[in-house]
Structure 1
Amino acid sequence: MMSWWNQFEFVFPWLLPLLVVAPLLWFWRIRKNLNREVSLRLPSTQSVRGLRSWKSALRPFLPLLRVAAISLFIIALARPRLDLSEESVTAEGIDIVLTLDLSTSMGATDFSPNRLEVAKQVARDFVSRREFDRIGLVVYAGEAYTKSPLTVDKEIIDRFIAELQMGEITDGTAIGTGLATAVNRLKESESASKIIILLTDGENNAGYHSPELAAELAEEFGIRVYTIGVGSGQQTLMPSSPLGGGKYTFKPTRGTVDDKLLAYIAETTNGRYFRARDTEELESIYDYIDELEKTEIETTVFKRYEEQFGRFLLIGLALLLLETLLRYTVLRTVP
């Protein structure tokens, strides 16, 4: 109901103040009739008791029908209508490939509960905000593979990210292979804007592709790479060897991030390198990228109206006709 009322408007709203005229005329008529009434003295009211009928009770309210009819005519003159505007949204989305490190070092506990779980949650929040974009998912450790090609189905991407676990891939940190795999997913894209968000907590120590060469390939295909280095830089507990069933033994260690390499990748591709030492910094990095990479949205509004004055006019005529019929038939008065 509220939505319908919000669409309601008048072409000539300056006529609406005339609505007070009809009630004022009715009150003036009642006052005039009261002043013209004459009294008749009777020795007793016994003789007129019971003379009042339902007709006499309704007769004073008969003019209200005319008041309502006149009010509806005034509303009709103001030309009420419904605004049925329609919007056509054309969005030029961005193609984004999230590239996440699944090496065992991502189980380090300097982020609570660990780096991987925090990275997953922040990435899921980011995906939920990219309404018009196609998003793909690449994961890597000692090797790399495409978890999901580019898609607009955000629920699928969200589920895939939520299911990520360490141990899915041979251990290691193949940054070059992960980046090359992501580039391969975007190189055929015709989108005006193509970006990769590559997250890692270590140094390149595996894979068959040089990170520098992968960066040059990304630059060649017009792909911008945002690199994120994760880790507090302080001594923390890090998984060392698997126990089976997704469990690991932990040992205290101080992980290192190859800031120089990640900065080179970002600079080569006209991107930017970020360092996240805690959860809040990682969240702010994704927020910054979200603001930086805005999707272009073009909205075209088509104006269409539905005239409503006919309804008010017909109801007003019906009330005026009813008032006339009642006045000269059922509620007729004898002069």
Structure 2
Amino acid sequence: MTGFWNQFEFVFPWLLPLVIVPPLIFLWQLRRDGEVSLRLPSTESVRNLRSWKSVVRPWLPLLRVAALCLFIIALARPRLDLSEESVTAEGIDIVLTMDLSTSMGATDFQPNRLEVAKTVARNFVQQREFDRIGLVVYAGEAYTKSPLTVDKEIVDRFIAELEMGEITDGTAIGTGLATAVNRLKDSDVASKIIILLTDGENNAGYHSPELAAELAKEYGIRVYTIGVGSGEATYMPSSPLGGGGYAFKPTRGTVDDKLLAYIAETTNGRYFRARDTEELESIYGYIDELETTEIETTIFKRYEERFGYFLLIGLGFLLLETVLRYTILKSVP
């Protein structure tokens, strides 16, 4: 109902104050008729002569008053604004490629690198209203967790469910990148990007990261690489204990900055280094601003006139008043 009234408008709203004129005239006439009424020494003799008709008849002009009010409203031309907005968006195809190696459990990010990466990625996904987004995960191997889709809720759920140990351990950057390229190579959109996040060095997989970067370049795919890790001494999972737990050991993880920068440069992307949560958030924010979606919006104005409803009801009141005045409520001279 709120939406209906928000769409309701008048073409000539300055006429609406005139609505109070008919009721004022009626009240003035009612008062005047009362002042010139016949005065009797006593009304006792005529009290029993009053019927429901004589009681109702003085109020019969109210129907004419209501009709005049409705006519004034009709003159103000009430209408519904049915504006339609046509949005044409040229979306971007994005594949998030996330590292699930056990080193992502390092505690230099709180509670750990993976949980922070998941939270920031989920926020990024929600900002990309018109884009298709896919999800590729990798460790010692890689696989597609979600194909390209506009259903952000599905992608969000898949990211939220990510855990270390889903895949054989290791850091197969080349295989992860090649899998993401495979998801995008047949896309016909103008802009295709991969956001590849890792905290280590390529030490597994059956695809060379350099070759995967060349493939991305060939298919016109831009790759943004993100290296995660403070570079300071921290605790990192070393071996599973069962039940989802890990034994931790002190370590100073290393990120292959040179390789990640090469991948980004080869594909006309950019390499970012995230040493804490704030830097990671700002990186995704920068990519979000950098990769803007082209949106063309056209607004079509369409109105539905509603004055006819008020006019018909007003005419109905006038007709009813006329019928009652000369039939049921007819006064005898």
Counterparts of 2:25 and 2:105, CA distance in 1: 83
- Residue of 164, 169, 176 corresponding to 1:166: 164
Shift of 1:283: 2.7
Structure 1 letter corresponding to 2:32: K
Shift of 1:38: 4.6
Q: Secondary structure in 1 aligned to 2:330?
A: coil
Structure 2 letter corresponding to 1:237: Y
Counterparts of 1:256 and 1:299, CA distance in 2: 47
Q: Which whole-Å deviations, capped at 9, do the CAs of 1:151-173 have from their partners, x for residues lacking one?
A: 22333323332332222323222
Q: Which whole-Å deviations, capped at 9, do the CAs of 1:136-195 have from their partners, x for residues lacking one?
A: 211122232222332223333233323322223232222222222222222222111111
Residue 5 in 1 paired to residue 5 in 2?
yes
Paired position in structure 2 for 1:296: 294
1:1-335 map, 5 Å = 1-42=1-42, 45-335=43-333
RMSD: 2.4
Shift of 1:232: 2.3
Counterparts of 1:40 and 1:29, CA distance in 2: 22
Change (3 A) 1:57 1:259: farther
Shift of 1:65: 0.9
Counterparts of 1:24 and 1:48, CA distance in 2: 31
Shift of 1:226: 1.5
- Identical residues among aligned pairs (%): 83
Counterparts of 2:145 and 2:316, CA distance in 1: 69
Structure 2 letter corresponding to 1:255: G
Counterparts of 2:182 and 2:30, CA distance in 1: 87
Q: Secondary structure in 2 aligned to 1:195?
A: strand
Counterparts of 1:30 and 1:49, CA distance in 2: 21
Q: Secondary structure in 1 aligned to 2:147?
A: strand
Greater displacement, 204-213 / 163-172? 204-213
Counterparts of 2:130 and 2:186, CA distance in 1: 19
Q: Secondary structure in 2 aligned to 1:330?
A: coil
Counterparts of 1:125 and 1:15, CA distance in 2: 51
Q: Which whole-Å deviations, capped at 9, do the CAs of 1:47-97 have from their partners, x for residues lacking one?
A: 344554433333332221111101111222233222333333322111001
Runs of 4+ in 1 over 6 A off after TM superposition: none
Q: Which whole-Å deviations, capped at 9, do the CAs of 1:221-241 have from their partners, x for residues lacking one?
A: 222212212122222211112
Structure 1 letter corresponding to 2:40: L
Shift of 1:268: 3.1
Structure 2 letter corresponding to 1:313: L
Greater displacement, 190-199 / 216-225? 216-225
Counterparts of 1:139 and 1:58, CA distance in 2: 82
Q: Secondary structure in 1 aligned to 2:40?
A: coil
The number of equivalent residue pairs is 333
Q: Secondary structure in 2 aligned to 1:88?
A: strand
Counterparts of 2:323 and 2:312, CA distance in 1: 16
Counterparts of 2:274 and 2:252, CA distance in 1: 15
Unaligned runs of 5+ in 1: none
Counterparts of 1:153 and 1:196, CA distance in 2: 18
Shift of 1:324: 1.8
Structure 2 letter corresponding to 1:184: N
Counterparts of 1:331 and 1:281, CA distance in 2: 84
